[in-house]
Chains A and B, each alone.
Chain A
Amino acid sequence: MDHFKPTIIRNTSIAQNYFELEFTWPSHSVPLPGQFLTLRIADQISPLLRRPFAFSGFNKEDRTASIIYEKRGPATSILSAQLPGEALDVIGPLGNSFPAPINDNRPVLVAGGVGMGPMFFLAEDFLKHNIHPLLFLGARTKAFIPNLDLFQKVQTLISTDDGTAGFSGTSVSCFQHYLETHENHQKVSGYEVYACGPNPMMQALDRFSRNQSWPTWLSMEQTMGCAVGACMGCVVKVITNTPPPQGFAYARVCTEGPIFPGHTLIWEENHGQQ
């Protein structure tokens, strides 16, 4: 992890309220899919805390990195008005990353809303390793769906809650529908599920893939203070093998996460925190 001030190369809208921010990466570190950075948005007391964003891409040759963010509050509004040439205040890369699938499991990537950035990065990374994932992208409505070159390279299935684009329903039901209608999926030795999105989406996905015994990797979101493991603020509740009476622990999203194996999450408390 480094603290540095890269320069904005591009900060453009890719869908309604969604922006892709590309910037220089003068650090020696190499961000991996699933990892994130924090941005200090402005040298002022409001918004105060640094904001976490997952990497949506990294170009080793050009030394550039990117994030995809949704304009939703004070920090992301200020960010969306920043221009190429301006400096960013970055700490990263932070957190763990997505593991490779075991055996020949076909990776299934499920992205919802602001979770699309890390899923696109992971999809690109799989392609580089000659692994062909299935990408499910869900949004409320068509306007929130970007149109990216990636969708030509990766088998992508889009869903919208209101049916204005792709499958009508959630990304999870789109995945289930795909399995029902594509008998050849049995040929695949198994699936390995990777997801980032709203908690209800990830919980539904976790429940479904637990039934199928597919390994599931979920990228969790939690409000952060320090983002380096010092404050214990960003936790999710997980099952532990520590002796009862507890049998649970609070794991830090910024340090033990943001990626957690689905079966370790205790949803009753983690649910609906966003």
Chain B
Amino acid sequence: MGNSNFQPDLRVTIGSLTMKNPVGVASGTFGYGSEYEQLIPLENLGALYTKAVTLEPRPGNPIPRIVEAPGGMLNSIGLANLGSRGFVQKKYPYLKSLPTQVIVNLAGSQVEDYCETLEYLEEHAPLGGYEVNLSCPNVQCGGMALGTDPLQVEFVVKELRKRTAKPLIIKLSPNVTDITEIARASEAGGADAVSCINTLVGMLIDTKKKKPVLSTITGGLSGPGILPVGLAAVFRVKRAVKIPVVGLGGIMSGDHAIQYLLAGASAIQVGTANFVDPEATRTILKDIYHYAKEHSLESITDFHTLMYPV
């Protein structure tokens, strides 16, 4: 134990893709990387999950879009993005040069949107892989409904699978009765991995103005308060599917990330913590590495066998 020459191998494999380490940055919290290039070395990231890309540009939701909540924050960005063509023109040239795996987060309202966006990106912006956001709580019609019905999920994943050999990671919503059902449907559709969790539906009310704080009434809750929800989701999903699980939700520290790895995650994503401390990913990776060394864990999968049998 604690052999100083021992070097854990923290690489992660998802489908055909290898990430140099398990620490990624979550969609919507890290833009397209360039926003943070002055603050942290992007080559240290295991993966960068872009802000959602939709077929057509979206202006996003009315103001206000963000508010701090007890233990976290609520957001209602509404998938504001340049659309697939804008992404190819303005974001792809930078992203393709990055020394990290770039996973494009896809969103839409209907199955056809997802398919068309993916086809367009396959042709014009080949990057590391796709994270399919079937679970955004901030868009009306589609999005959420799509991600909550196992049959629809299996169908959309199958359609996307036909169109790409690149890793397909299906992002799961915690706002469902049984998250393992959706995970199994993703696996049956041919997904390479699932990531969980997206934000939880929440709201806050301004008691002075007697109205909801967010323009859209409800928004998505993220941050430290949702850690236990994300952990429970990963723990259960890991035991329901054979494909890798990417864990996220509320990770603020190395200890939080290690909890996800112990629960069965093969990789993790850091979201809201980037806002609080842009260097969070660096500290988290360092802590994971030290933990692995201390416990003589040769690889990430060794974390999964470590926990007291439950």
Q: Measuring CB to CB, which residues of chain A are less than 8 angstroms from any residue of chain B?
A: 1-3, 40, 45-50, 89, 91, 222-237, 246, 248-250, 269-270, 273
Q: Which residues of A contact B176 (CB under 8 A)?
A: none
A230–B30 CB distance below 8 A: yes
Give chain B interface residues in 23-67, CB to chain A under 8 Å: 28-31, 35-36, 38-39, 51, 59-60, 62-67
The verdict on B274 contacting chain A, using a C-beta distance below 8 Å, is yes
**Chain A residue nearest in CB terms to B273:** A48
B6 at interface by CB-CB < 8 Å: no
Interface residue from B63, B68, B224 paired with A235 (Cβ < 8 Å): B63
Contact A230-B31, Cβ < 8 Å, known A49-B276, A246-B59, A270-B63: yes
Chain B contacts of A234 at CB under 8 A? 65-66
Contact B39–A223 (Cβ < 8 Å): no
The answer, among B62, B63, B75, B276, for a CB contact under 8 Å with A231, is: B75
> Restricting to B218-276, which residues have a CB under 8 Å from any CB of A?
223-224, 252, 272, 274-276
Task: Assess the A232–B29 pair: CB atoms within 8 A.
Answer: no
8 Å CB contact of A46 from B64, B71, B277: B71
Tell me if A3 and B39 are in contact (CB < 8 A).
Answer: yes
Question: In the complex, what residues of B have CB within 8 A of residue A270's CB?
Answer: 63
The answer to whether B252 and A45 have CB atoms under 8 Å apart is: yes
Query: Can you offer 14 A-B residue contacts whose CB atoms are under 8 A?
Result: A1-B38, A46-B70, A48-B272, A49-B73, A49-B276, A50-B275, A91-B278, A223-B67, A225-B66, A225-B75, A226-B31, A235-B63, A246-B59, A270-B63
In contact, B60 and A232 (Cβ under 8 angstroms): yes
Residue of B62, B224, B276 with most chain A CB atoms under a 10 A cut-off? B276
Q: Which residues of A contact B63 (CB under 8 A)?
A: 222, 235-237, 250, 269-270, 273
Which chain B residues lie closer than 8 Å to A249 at the CB level?
A: 59
On chain A, the residues within 8 Å of B272 by CB distance are 48, 225
Which residues in B have some Cβ–Cβ distance to A below 8 Å?
A: 28-31, 35-36, 38-39, 51, 59-60, 62-68, 70-73, 75, 77, 80, 223-224, 252, 272, 274-279
Asked whether B66 lies within 8 Å of A223 as measured between CB atoms, the reply is yes
Establish whether residues A228 and B35, one from each chain, have CB atoms under 8 Å apart when the complex forms: yes
Contact between chains at B59 and A250 (CB < 8 Å): yes
Contact A224:B66 (CB < 8 A) given known A230-B35, A233-B77: yes
Given known A45-B71, A226-B29, A270-B63, contact A3–B77 (CB-CB < 8 A): no
* Shortest distance between the CB of B207 and any CB in chain A (Å): 14
CB-defined contacts of B275 to chain A, threshold 8 Å:
49-50, 225-227, 231
From B30, B70, B73, B275, name the one whose CB has the most chain A CB atoms within 10 angstroms: B275
Minimum distance in angstroms from B81 CB to a CB of chain A: 8
Q: With A226-B29, A226-B35 as known contacts, state yes or no: A50 contacts B80, CB within 8 Å.
A: no
| Chain B residue with Cβ nearest A249 | B59
Contact B35–A3 (Cβ < 8 Å): no
Q: In this complex, what residue of A is CB-closest to B79? A: A232
Q: Given A1-B38, A1-B39, A50-B275, A225–B80 Cβ distance below 8 Å?
A: no
User: Cβ of B70: which chain A residues have Cβ within 8 Å of it?
Assistant: 46
Instruction: Tell whether, in the assembled complex, residue A226 and residue B274 are in contact, meaning their CB atoms are under 8 Å apart.
Output: yes
- Cβ-defined contact, B73 with A3, below 8 A: no
Q: Is the CB of A269 within 8 A of B66?
A: no
Given contacts A48-B224, A222-B64, A228-B39, 18 further A-B contacts (CB under 8 A): A1-B39, A3-B279, A45-B71, A48-B71, A223-B65, A223-B67, A223-B68, A225-B75, A226-B35, A226-B275, A227-B275, A228-B36, A228-B278, A231-B275, A232-B51, A234-B65, A237-B62, A250-B63
